[in-house]
Amino acid sequence: MENTIQNAMQNTNTIEDIYILLTPTAKRDCKWELEGNGSKIKCIMKDGEFFSRYLSNIEKLGGNEKLRIRMKIDSFLEGNKVRKKYTILKITEKIQERNLFNWQEVDK
């Protein structure tokens, strides 16, 4: 009976949303920290193409970048608590912030 309840509590969803990158890491299978919808989450990076570009400095990341991310969320019951595991499947867009001023046009 307990296995039936636990299996019923396992759920997988794939979503795409905008997140703020807080801490990228250059180590494989380490978690990247993101902020979205008012909460911080740690995610396993599985977008090999983007990760390779990051390692070779083609993608420059320092934190606080806005990224559109396709993510898999696995929810499961552990004891009496619902836990979630986040996996970055694909970073689909790096959103460029627009400057309010064009500094080249500002009088010195």
User: Is residue 108 in a domain?
Assistant: no
Phi then psi dihedrals of residue 100, to 5 deg: -75, -25
User: Is residue 52 in a domain?
Assistant: yes
Helical H segments across 1-108, by residue range: 2-8, 48-55
pLDDT in tens, 70-82: 999 999 998 899 9
pLDDT in tens, 50-108: 999 999 999 988 778 999 999 999 999 988 999 999 999 999 999 987 655 554 544 44
CATH, residue 52: 2.40.50
| Most distant CA pair in the chain, distance | 75
How far apart CA 20 and CA 8 sit, in angstroms, is 32
Total domains present in the chain: 1
Q: Which domain holds residue 19?
A: 2-95
Q: Across residues 31-57, what is the average pLDDT?
A: 94
Joined tokens for residue 94: 């790096």
Joined tokens for residue 69: 């991310």
Q: Say which residue the tokens 């905008």 belong to.
A: 18
Q: pTM for the full model?
A: 0.79
Joined tokens for residue 7: 């299996």
- For residue 80, what are the CA distances in angstroms to 2, 4, 39, 51, 76? 12, 14, 22, 35, 10
